[in-house]
Amino acid sequence: MAGRSVVVHGEAGTGKTHLITTALRDGLPPAWTLIDLTAGTGGTASWQRLVGEAGARDGVEAGAAALQDWLMLPPAGRALLRLEDAHLLEDTVLAAIALVTHRADVAVVASHSAHPSELTALTGLRDAVTIRVAPMNATQTETMLTEMLGGFPTADAVHRLWLASRGNPFYLSELVRDHQQRGDLFAHDGVWVWTGIPTLTDRMIEAAFHDLGALTEAERDAVERAAVAGVITAATVPHEVRRRLLRRGLLRPGPTGPGMGGQSHLEVTHPLRADAIAAQVSTTRRHDLIAGGQTTPVPTGPQDLVRSVCSRVRAEIPVPLPELLRACHHVVRADEPQTAVELTGAVLQQGIDPISTIKLLTARATAHLRLGDIDAALSDLATARSAMILTDESGAEVLDAYLPAIRHETTVRHFLATDPEATLSVLSSTARWLRPTAQANSLVAQALTNVESLRLAHLAWAGRHPEMLDEAWSRLQHSPHPEQVVQLVGPASIALALAGRSGSATALFERFLPVVSSDRVLRGWDPGSFTLLRFFLLVLTGETDAAERTEPVAGTDVDMVGWHLRRGTVASARGDWATARRELRAANVRLRVRDTLGVVAYSLAQEAKVAAASGDGVAARALLSELATTPRRCSYVTGAYLDLHVVDALIWLRDPSVTEVTARLMEAAARDHQHAIELEAMHRLVVVAGPSAAQAVIGVPLAERVAALAEHVDGRRNEAVVAHLRAILGNRARAVSDTAEHLRELGVILPVVVKPTRLTRREREVAALAAGGMTSKAIAQRLVLSVRTVDSHLAGAYRKLRVHTREGLSGALTAADR
């Protein structure tokens, strides 16, 4: 674009200056001279005064002539004028610059931070183009973070830093630098974790101080009101003041739509910029601005809602309870539970009605739960329960307040205090309290159904699936109020899958999906466990593609740690060990920092299997040792599927204890009528030890037991396991190979243990070199073959060894030598 003017436009901090500097780094074409007009670069501010005075006195033509004289352009030369922060210049100065580009061989490259509606002063530039520098999206933020940190950040660190910075490189850099110094942005096992909350830095405060210092009294008043309130009504700002603030890039048009009263609004261009400005407003003025009605806080998105609620609570201004509870929910989900503790505590001290007290105590207990403070959470929940029992009120509102309190209390007792018996006792006593009035009061009857269903769910969460399955299945089939039993769906589906009833388990999830998505359910229950258990069920029944396509329930928050678990689990089911290892390691690093419910046990078992499969035996054994001392807590709900991951890890490790461990698993599964687990354990035993040794362990004819189990199981994975067992027992080599391949497609990937078909000399030679890391081209050069011939031998080795990657060749070659 030689000879054309360029306007680089975007909000402050998006990298406009960096873009211009990078473009000019290699210099200009011959005959071009660069003249930097940016204020503060070697006395250049004088030209602004000269041009402005001439333009104001005699018009734009005179201003342009004054600038041309000041530039002293050579008669035959060309000049590129560099101008940073053009939005800070007066219109007469910009008009003079534009006119000069028409009179001489002059082009301009300028950065501009005004709102797009205020770019008109630069439209007069000759042959000008505008480049819009937008904030980064989440993927770009992750790339920048990885480069800054020199390592892989967890998904929740990326997501939270992206939300806090809004994709602005300046604010992102400031947050990273500040939180690294604070120590709450740190690396563990090569993965970066962030456990802090966004804070203002000195540079943010200095920038805000500089912004305010350049404003008139009326402009400062408008900016301070917008910073304190989040948004202000545009009509409360005089037109010329509004135009200048939009021009300077300090304010921008605010949100529109439902709830905005049909009026136009203004907001500060970035939340952290607003916070830095608000921090310089006295507490008294902040209180007066809100209480005096000079601002109209209009919460929009979650972050704006939180900022608005925090400002009002801290100024001791009443906040509607639904708004306060939504704000608490958002900060807990954003991993900032201490903010929820602060907000609820401040309101509870003011003295409120019993129902609001129960709701706020429950919200604060949720925050304590996220912080891992068991005693504080239980104290709040016990107080909430006492308030419920003592209140004289009754009806839906009371029960809607009480049931979440019971759910949270049982969660704390079961998963943090690891006391499932106390959990079941609380639920039983609650049911006894509700039962006398349930027949006469339909609302109480529904609450009783909810509590009894929760008790059954906790039996499954404790790993006691056989005790709950029949009653849970009956309730799920016949309840007239499905929203009251929806919490049973996940645990009951896993219990069905353990028993081999994959079809019933999948159908149950599908039937209740509309129920889970209903507003009534979403108001009283976070269906995160439903989503995650549905995903795991699909993977464990061989439906990996369907699992990958599952999405969180509409209207719920996205669990960032769950992203790592999902991606790692899918990659593991497909044999992509490198991706699986990276994602599961990231999940476990984050869970070791904070694991509210106890998901890490299941995730550790998966990572141990993946580490063993990828050849890292040392890491695999370390993970298995960690798992042995890690309380399973909510991971008990996955039942023996967790133990099956351990068995598979031991198989990949070729650990001599695998036979004994698998036999114990098979025996326990047979006792509990968990036919799918018994079938899979028998399959592993036959694959590892061979039919004869497995027969000795089982004590009954293998073919008979396989046939009996086949009668009790359904689903693609179970059926594929049966087919592979029958092929092995029938000594049908081709069928063994075909059914093993089908199992791989369904996520059952095991090393070659039974001796494979013998490789040819050339296949072995090529496979050994490939296993050592050589490319096909390098092997071809070494053996004086064509690349096509090398690939043909490699394909033959893959087929005979029943592996699909070069990573799997080494172990398969070792097994083939035995």
Whole-angstrom distance, CA of residue 731 vs CA of residue 717 = 21
- Residue 280, in any domain of the structure: yes
Among residues 160, 176, 199, the one where a domain terminates is 199
Task: Verify that 782 and 801 share a domain, yes or no.
Answer: yes
- Residue 366, in any domain of the structure: no
Q: What is the DSSP string of 308-356?
A: HHHHHHHTT----HHHHHHHHHHHHHTT-HHHHHHHHHHHHTT---HHH
CATH code assigned at 97: 3.40.50.300
In this prediction, residue 41 has a pLDDT band, given cuts at 50, 70 and 90, of very low
CATH code assigned at 794: 1.10.10.10
Whole-angstrom distance, CA of residue 223 vs CA of residue 229 = 10
Backbone angles phi, psi at 56, to 5 degrees: -65, -35
Give how far the C-alpha of residue 619 lies from the chain's centroid of Cα atoms, to the nearest Å. Answer: 26
Task: Verify that 224 and 114 share a domain, yes or no.
Answer: no
- Residue 255, in any domain of the structure: yes
Task: Verify that 62 and 16 share a domain, yes or no.
Answer: yes
Q: Please, which residues have CB within 8 angstroms of residue 784's CB and are 6 or more apart in sequence?
A: none
Task: Verify that 118 and 184 share a domain, yes or no.
Answer: no
For the residues 271-291, what does the mean pLDDT come to?
85
Task: Verify that 12 and 120 share a domain, yes or no.
Answer: yes
Residue type, 742: H
In this prediction, what percent of the chain has a pLDDT beyond 70? Answer: 90
Q: Is 86 left (phi over 0), alpha (psi -120 to 50) or beta?
A: alpha
- Residue 93, in any domain of the structure: yes
Residue 277 confidence (pLDDT) above 80: yes
- Reading the block at residue 286, the tokens are 């902040």
Task: Verify that 194 and 205 share a domain, yes or no.
Answer: no
- Residue 806, in any domain of the structure: yes
In this prediction, what percent of the chain has a pLDDT beyond 90? Answer: 42
Residue type, 146: T
pTM of the model: 0.78
State the pLDDT at residue 105.
83
Does 352 or 730 have the greater pLDDT score?
730
Task: Verify that 242 and 174 share a domain, yes or no.
Answer: no
Q: Please, which residues have CB within 8 angstroms of residue 5's CB and are 6 or more apart in sequence?
A: 101, 107, 108, 109, 110, 125, 126, 127, 128, 129
Strands 152-153 and 265-268: unpaired
Question: By the 8 A CB rule, do 380 and 368 touch?
Answer: yes
Structural domains counted in the chain: 4
Task: Verify that 91 and 46 share a domain, yes or no.
Answer: yes
Task: Verify that 190 and 94 share a domain, yes or no.
Answer: no
- Residue 554, in any domain of the structure: no
Question: By the 8 A CB rule, do 426 and 409 touch?
Answer: yes
* Containing structural domain, residue 772: 761-817
Segment 180-216, tens digit of pLDDT:
999 999 998 889 999 888 889 999 999 999 989 889 9
- Residue 111, in any domain of the structure: yes
Residue 494 confidence (pLDDT) above 90: yes
- Reading the block at residue 582, the tokens are 């990276």
Among residues 264, 298, 332, the one where a domain terminates is 298
Strands 5-9 and 106-112: parallel
Task: Verify that 99 and 55 share a domain, yes or no.
Answer: yes
Task: Verify that 85 and 113 share a domain, yes or no.
Answer: yes
Helix (H, G, I), strand (E, B) or coil at 186: strand
Question: By the 8 A CB rule, do 103 and 68 touch?
Answer: yes
Residue type, 583: E
Residue 425 confidence (pLDDT) above 90: yes
- Residue 677, in any domain of the structure: no
Task: Verify that 71 and 126 share a domain, yes or no.
Answer: yes
Question: By the 8 A CB rule, do 73 and 62 touch?
Answer: no
R_g (Cα) of the chain, nearest Å: 33
Among residues 115, 132, 149, the one where a domain terminates is 132
